[in-house]
Every structure is written in C-alpha cells, then in structure tokens.
Amino acid sequence: MNMALGNMSFPDNDSRPLAIEARGLVKRFEGTTAVDGVDISVPEGAIYGILGPNGAGKTTTLRMLLGIIDPDEGTRKVFGHERPHDIARLIGYLPEERGLYPSMKAYEAIAFMGALRGVPLEEGKRRGRELLEANGLGHAVERQIRQLSKGMAQNVQLLGTLVHRPKLVVLDEPFSGLDALNQGKLERMIRSLAEEGTTVIFSTHVIHHAERLCEGVAIIAGGKVPYAGSVDAARNRIPAQVRLETRAREGRWMEALPADARREGDYFYFSLPESGVEPLLRALIEGEAGILSLSIERAGLHDAFVAIAGEAAARAMQAGSQAETE
C-alpha cells in the first residue's frame, strides 16, 4: 500500500473546478516542522474533512489555506487566487478558538463579522437578527455575548461565519464543545450548505463526523498527509471483513479460507478475498462447511485511518475525542 501519496483519486474524475488547491505546503515554527509537504485538492461544492489527532497540523494547514499565515514552501490557491485575502468575501471562517467581543449584542456580533467580509453594517444587523430568529436564537438577539452560554455564543459565531453567504466555509474543529443535539444541528447545516453549492472544509479529530459528512478527506499525522482523497477510496483500501459461522468445525472447506482467517469462538473472521464472495461461497458449500451465518462488513473510515496513519495516530485521535467528551 502506498502510504506516502498526497493527492490521490479524489477529485481526479471530478469535472468540478477546484475551490482549494494546495501543493507541497510546508510550515516551520522555530525549527520545528509543523506541516511538511501537504497536498490538498477540494472541488467546489464538496464537504471535505481534515482528519488527524491534536497537534497533527490541521489548524496550521487551514490557517495557511486562509492566508492567516504564509507557508514557508509550497503554493495554495483558493478559487484560483494565490492570496486568499483577495477573495475574503467569498470565505467564511470559524476558528478553533472561538472569540467574540463580549460587550457586543448577538446581532451586532454577526453584523460585525459580516462587515469584515463586506456586508454593510445595517444590512448585517438585519441579517443577524434574521439568522438568529431562523436558528432558534431569537431570544438572544438583544443579549450581549457575555450573557450567552458557551454553546449559544458558539452558534452566534457560526452564524457570523455565514452571514455574508460565503462560497467556501472553513470550520476548524466545529464540533468541539457542542453537545450531541447541537452536533446534529451543525451536521445538518453543513449538508444544507453543500446542497446550496457551498464548499465546506472542516478539521476534526472525530472520525464519525467526517465519515457521515465528507466526500473527501485528508488524513494528517505528524504534519504529513499520507492520504488525501475520497472517503470511499480510503475505505476501499481495506478489504471488507467477513464473519463466518459454520456447523462443521473442520473439513476440506477450510482450505477456501484466506490466510488471515482467525477463529474467535464460533466465528471465523477474515478479509474478503479479492476474487469476491461467490467463489468463496461455492468452496464453502462444496466443502460441506454447513454455513450457519455469513456477513460481510465494509471497512469504516476508522479502519482506513488506522491502516493509513498507523495505530499510534488512531490512538491519539481517540484519546483526543475522549478527553473532549469528558
């Protein structure tokens, strides 16, 4: 398996123009290489995830893509522009560390964020009120940010990220700090944005969000991107797992099992052979295995992540998301 590839199949067979195209991005901080040769391609209208444990280089990569910091090496293009600030009005950004002016009212905060992206102040205030009402935060319109709960303030900031109707939304760990209900709402919002044609790119260390939402992912570990491509292609790198239960404990049929087959109690577990399930079934029947049950489970993104980034990175991811849950 090639583990050192950056840009792979996604979006090679895609006719959509690229919203983001980064090649060989490198960033060093005081001698430490935080990001080391990242290649990412995100087509317009896609939901794209950057997956990796804490400290892997996700935020640094996003900050480079947004022009907050410049790469030491490599190139980046956002909607074909090398300087993201030139198209700032087309981009919405929710940073990992949330921040709003505490003395501002909720609708003013949204209007201010809109004004930074070119929405006239009065128009921004009107939109701010509307967005808050439409998203169940009507009661918070006139309240100061300091008077809101953390979750509500986070929602206000998210709405501020969207107030100018960007074509590209960049969310850094957007699910972090949200309860399950709000995580679900956010997932729906992201889907809805993509349906409207907005490109959404988000970083996360929780694989399930990426698996549920993303068309493409970049797996980042230790500042490198060992995989960037479609979620399907990542999952297809791992053969589907077969679980087999038979009446016969031994027999000629066992010769049909692949080399990685292992027995756990009444079940055999093994990878689905490349030849597919039909030849296997035929051999089991002819060998009189007495099939009681057979299930084929396609590999998940987590399995793909483990295979691509390694056990250590997967454990770090899990530890990060557990710590957050606690």
Partner 1 sequence: MSDFNQLPTQEKSRLSIWQAAFVIARRDFMAILFSRAFFFFLLGPVFMITIATISGSLGSRISRDAMVPEIGIAMSMEETGRMLEAHNLLANELGGALPPMVAVQGADAPDFDPRVVLEEKRGNYAAIVTGSLARPVLTGPEGQIDYMRGRVALVAAAAAGAAPTTFPSVDMQVVSTSAASAKSGQIITAQAGQMLLFLLTMLLAGMVLSNLVEEKGNKIIEILAAAIPMDAVFLGKLFAMLGVSFVGIAVWGTVGASLFLLLGNAAPSFPTPAVGWPAFLALGVIYFAMGYLLLGSLFLSIGSMAATVREVQTLSMPVTMLQLGVFFFASYAMSKIGSSVEWAAVIVPFSSPFAMLARAAQQEGLTQHLIAIGWQALAVAVLVKAGATLFRKRVMKSGGQGKAKRSLWRRSKAAA
Residues of this chain that interact with partner 1 (CB under 8 A) are: 28-30, 63, 66-72, 81, 85-91, 93, 95, 97-103, 112-113, 115-119, 121, 127, 130-131, 133-135, 162-165, 167, 189, 192-193, 196
Question: Shortest gap between Cβ of 292 and partner 1 (angstroms)?
Answer: 49
Cβ-based nearer residue to partner 1, 85 or 298:
85
C-alpha to C-alpha distance for 321 and 183, rounded to whole angstroms:
14
Whether the bond between 53 and the residue before it is cis, its omega within 30 degrees of 0, is no
In the complex, the smallest distance separating the C-beta of residue 313 from partner 1, rounded to whole angstroms, is 24
Instruction: Closer to partner 1 by CB, 95 or 287: give it.
Output: 95
Q: How far is 200 from 168, CA to CA, in rounded Å?
A: 6
Query: Is 92 buried (19+), middle (13-18) or exposed (0-12) by CB count in 10 A?
Result: buried
Q: Smallest gap, in angstroms, from Cβ of residue 299 to partner 1?
A: 34
- β-strand 241-246 against 267-271: which pairing, if any? antiparallel
Measured CA to CA in angstroms, residue 204 lies from 52, 294, 317 at distances of: 7, 35, 9
Distance CA 37, CA 204 (A): 20
Tokens of 37: 């040769």
Q: CB under 8 Å to 45, separation ≥6 — which residues? A: 16, 19, 194, 197, 198, 199
Least distance to partner 1, CB of residue 223, Å: 14
Closer by beta carbon to partner 1, 135 or else 241 = 135
Nearest distance in Å: CB 14, partner 1: 22
Using CA atoms, how far apart are residues 126 and 147, in angstroms rounded to an integer? 21
- 88 or 228: whose CB is closer to partner 1? 88
Q: For residue 197, give the amino acid letter.
A: G
Sign of dihedral through CA atoms 147, 148, 154, 157?
Answer: negative
* Residue with smaller CB distance to partner 1, 100 or 220: 100
The residue among 198 and 246 lying less far from partner 1, judged by its C-beta, is 198
Comparing CB distances to partner 1, the nearer of 31 and 276 is 31
The span from the CA of 83 to the CA of 204, in Å, is 25
Smallest gap, in angstroms, from Cβ of residue 127 to partner 1? 6
Q: How far is the CB of 66 from partner 1 (least distance, A)?
A: 5
